[in-house]
Structure 1
Amino acid sequence: MTQPLWSKEQTIAQTELQKKITQFMSGGDVILDRELMLYDIQASLAHVQGLQRIGVISGEELAKITVALDKITKQFQSGDFVLDSRFEDCHSAIEWFLTNELGETGKKIHTGRSRNDQVAVATRLYCREALNELANSSQQIAETCLALARKHELDILPGYTHLQRAVVSSWGMWFASFSESFCDNAYAAKSTCELINSNPLGTAAGYGVNLRLDRDYTTKALGFNRKQVNPIYAQNSRGKIELQVLSSFKSALLDIRRMAWDLSLFSTAEYDFVKVGDDFCTGSSIMPNKHNPDAIELMRAEYSRLVGAYNEIESLLSLPSGYQRDLQSTKGALLRGVSSALQCLQLVPSLLKSLVINVSKCEASVDASMFATDKAVELVIEDDMVFRDAYRHIKYNYQELESRKAIDSLKERVSPGATGNLFLSEIEGRLGAL
């Protein structure tokens, strides 16, 4: 292993115990940091540019460091440079590379910063991109659902409450419900991104440094909306930022869980309302007849994985002000939660497009009782009957509903957003404004 950044000695010969302690303290970090490596390089470039602006390094030194950072970026992307057990983390790896390439000049990169603000800024950059991907995925799901809502606007789907038949509904309304919900999820992701898009670089270990760092420059260079002003808060916000990000993902996956539950039920032989595409299903190792919607079931489970990550971070944040090593443990939960959630969300548009609706089965599942609410409203309007009297009348006279047609029920339910008036243009307008 390379010399730790915190070491006072030039070389360290580790005992077996020390090796075990090092493995415990940072063994997993070097693997996790493969996700953060490029963000840390990006922040390192902005930092040295800022150092040059205040005269800590020369223009010539900046040029050399810039070339070296570009070199490690390309080598990391190609696989020629591997972040492995030689290093504590991505931060030590970058500094080692620069020192190996540039000698004394490479050692200057850490002036005015700590690994604390390095981790914070790399994580912030990662979170910003993750939220943008969440917003994009949510928008794609919403747009897919909107298109399917138009396609199946008047295709009948029994509506349920308490898992009991309630009223006649439509696949158009079902798809529109998820289009609107993922429109909200996209807006929520963008709002969270705006909230967390502040720059902690230059706050060092949580107390600032005795240099006039050009934090406004690094803020602009890294695309942040503002700088995070207070150094103590820069450390206190670690974990809190991660929870805000995961909370946005939880909102999206909560909708996925409900969608997956519906499709799991509707695709059973007992319902037979819809067939899930073969790509999203598997067979059984022993039962040749099985066609299992495994991908949907795993999508349904994804929310619980994310909640686990959220709870893992939340449970360790009972800490005093300032940096505590416990905060290192937020990294794994965040990266695992975000990565898995994005994989799930990116599959949803293709899943929805694979669905084949069994129109005849859906229509056959409508019975006369499901027109009762429509008829009660009609009695109020046409016969001037008060609603409670109309309610009781229909409850004991279902025979009056036998001749009604499901398609008429869909078309006549014209309250804004209902089956005969889905207001898809309003959802489309919100999506267009994203």
Structure 2
Amino acid sequence: MKLWQKESTSVSEIIEKFTVGRDKEFDQLLAKHDVQGSIAHVTMLGEVGLMTKDEAETAVKALQDIQQEIQKGEFSIAENVEDVHSQVELLLTQRIGDIGKKIHSGRSRNDQVAVDIKLFLRETILLVKDEVKTLFDLLIANSEKYKDKLLPGYTHLQIGMPSSFGLWFGAYAESLVDDLEMLAAAYVVANKNPLGSGAGYGSSFPLNRTFTTNALHFASLNYNSVYAQMTRGKTEKVTAMGLSCIAATLSRLAMDCCLYINQNFNFISFPSELTTGSSIMPHKKNPDVFELIRAKCNRIQAIPNELTLLLNNLPSGYHRDLQLTKEILFPAIEELKACLQLAHLMLTNIEIKDNILADEKYKYLFSVEAVNELVNQGIPFREAYQQVGNQIEKGEFNFDYTKGLHHTHEGSIGNLCNDEIKKMMDATLRKFHL
């Protein structure tokens, strides 16, 4: 069944297979949203007189029955049916007769799939946001738990200055705050209603688009009907940008963990059941989870560019190219959620080594501490720098870090400002419900 097919036309099998592609696979994910949009549309048709009140109520009841079947996993798109929209309309027609044929009045598949995707992405963004918040809470908790555990800080992968696990965990927590700012922007874009724009040029029917906007709990409309269609692809791309920011943070965190578990660093370890072994080297404990998080998240960061290449230079109006956004973006969403969950699992079980900085190779880590100590005694910074530099050159440098490090400014080892970071996260989270 095809919504556009006439009695006298048919499509060759090879053309149908090519044009449908993987659409049915991803339409299953949109099914509940398609029904949700249809309920709002049908209710509106009853309000404006394009269906009688009784007809609209009958159609809504049948749509609610289909929604329950979807929730129970009893819904599927038949082999000879083109897409989820066609399947829902077919089921309605089978169950309530000619009333089912009326539900498409004032609607095109173009605005139908646009609203489905907006509803799907809006829900998905909130689910990703929750996964990020769960990881954020763990990072803050670990930052507090391990704030007195020192480790080397690096620049250019060379030993730089003393850091702490409190500072390290907290850095990634605050990074997630900024990542959610980007995802919140995507939520705002997804939270606008394109339904009623039809094929992109509106309708001569007296549709009430404000009604469907309220019924679907959108924050506002995509008002211009041409632009409502132009949000196809754009919404997906903006969402992908938000996801890619989170992926970038996870990828960098995973890379740190791969380094820190390495025997040459030996800062952290994980229980054996969370690592993998070698088929030939019996001593190996490989950080495969972090390596795969790194790889998957790097691939997710390519999604905005892939969507750009798909969408670039398309003129206004609908084009079948847009069908491919689903198979580019939807799997990436599931990959990112899995990476967030696995990162949480690993970091819940992380083991931090004691007395890391006691190793002789880290003695120059405290050169800046020595310079600052001289400055506090009244020696100009440049002279203090030269004195310590000369001591290092002559092999005479020594600094007893065990007497304590005095880092007190905001965001330093001794003043992590985790409460302030949590406040920033709370403020960002509020943007998802505007």
Q: Same fold (TM over 0.5)?
A: yes
CA–CA distance in 1 between the matches of 2:125 and 2:169?
24
- Shift in CA distance, 262/171, structure 1 to aligned 2, threshold 3 Å: same
How much has 1:182 moved relative to structure 2? Answer: 1.1
TM-score using structure 1 length: 0.93
1:239-281 deviations in Å (ceiling 9; x for gaps)? 1111110100111110111100000010011111101244432
1:134-168 deviations in Å (ceiling 9; x for gaps)? 22222211111111011001101111111111111
CA contact (8 A) 2:186 2:242 kept: yes
How much has 1:349 moved relative to structure 2? Answer: 1.8
Q: Paired residue for 2:225, among 231, 246, 265?
A: 231
* 1:418 and 2:412 are equivalent in the alignment: yes
After TM superposition, the structure 1 stretch with the greater mean CA deviation from structure 2, 283-292 or 61-70, is: 283-292
How much has 1:284 moved relative to structure 2? Answer: 2.5
Gaps of 5+ in 2: 430-434
Q: CA RMSD in A?
A: 1.8
Query: 2:366: which partner in 1?
Result: 371
- Shift in CA distance, 134/7, structure 1 to aligned 2, threshold 3 Å: same
TM-score using structure 2 length: 0.93
1:331-378 deviations in Å (ceiling 9; x for gaps)? 111112212112211222222111001113454366221111112122
Q: Paired residue for 2:48, among 41, 45, 54?
A: 54
Query: 2:432: which partner in 1?
Result: none
* 1:300 and 2:294 are equivalent in the alignment: yes
* 1:336 and 2:331 are equivalent in the alignment: yes
CA–CA distance in 2 between the matches of 1:282 and 1:83?
40
Query: 2:404: which partner in 1?
Result: 408
How much has 1:9 moved relative to structure 2? Answer: 1.3
Residue 292 of structure 1: SS of its match in structure 2?
Answer: coil
How much has 1:407 moved relative to structure 2? Answer: 6.4
CA–CA distance in 1 between the matches of 2:181 and 2:303?
23
CA–CA distance in 1 between the matches of 2:299 and 2:241?
13
Amino acid at match of 1:5: L
1:199-238 deviations in Å (ceiling 9; x for gaps)? 0000000000101111101101111111101111112221
Query: 1:173: which partner in 2?
Result: 167
Query: 1:7: which partner in 2?
Result: 5
How much has 1:84 moved relative to structure 2? Answer: 4.4
Query: 1:159: which partner in 2?
Result: 153
Residue 167 of structure 1: SS of its match in structure 2?
Answer: strand
CA contact (8 A) 2:150 2:356 kept: no
After TM superposition, the structure 1 stretch with the greater mean CA deviation from structure 2, 363-372 or 289-298, is: 363-372
- Shift in CA distance, 222/78, structure 1 to aligned 2, threshold 3 Å: same
CA contact (8 A) 1:47 1:218 kept: yes
Query: 2:353: which partner in 1?
Result: 358
CA contact (8 A) 2:182 2:241 kept: no
Runs of 4 or more, structure 1, over 6 Å off, are none
CA–CA distance in 2 between the matches of 1:430 and 1:290?
41
CA contact (8 A) 1:198 1:228 kept: yes
- Shift in CA distance, 170/200, structure 1 to aligned 2, threshold 3 Å: same
CA contact (8 A) 1:31 1:84 kept: no
CA–CA distance in 2 between the matches of 1:5 and 1:256?
43
CA contact (8 A) 1:31 1:83 kept: no
CA contact (8 A) 1:43 1:121 kept: yes
- Shift in CA distance, 81/129, structure 1 to aligned 2, threshold 3 Å: closer
How much has 1:325 moved relative to structure 2? Answer: 1.1
CA–CA distance in 2 between the matches of 1:307 and 1:419?
31
Residue 160 of structure 1: SS of its match in structure 2?
Answer: strand
After TM superposition, the structure 1 stretch with the greater mean CA deviation from structure 2, 213-222 or 124-133, is: 124-133
- Shift in CA distance, 215/157, structure 1 to aligned 2, threshold 3 Å: same
Q: Paired residue for 1:104, among 98, 108, 116?
A: 98
CA–CA distance in 1 between the matches of 2:158 and 2:4?
64
How much has 1:307 moved relative to structure 2? Answer: 3.1
Q: Paired residue for 1:193, among 181, 187, 190?
A: 187
After TM superposition, the structure 1 stretch with the greater mean CA deviation from structure 2, 223-232 or 308-317, is: 308-317
CA contact (8 A) 2:110 2:318 kept: yes
Gaps of 5+ in 1: none
Amino acid at match of 1:7: Q
CA–CA distance in 1 between the matches of 2:19 and 2:206?
33
Query: 2:212: which partner in 1?
Result: 218
Residue 6 of structure 1: SS of its match in structure 2?
Answer: coil
1:379-407 deviations in Å (ceiling 9; x for gaps)? 2221x222222112111114665241256
Identity across matched positions, percent: 36
Query: 2:423: which partner in 1?
Result: 429
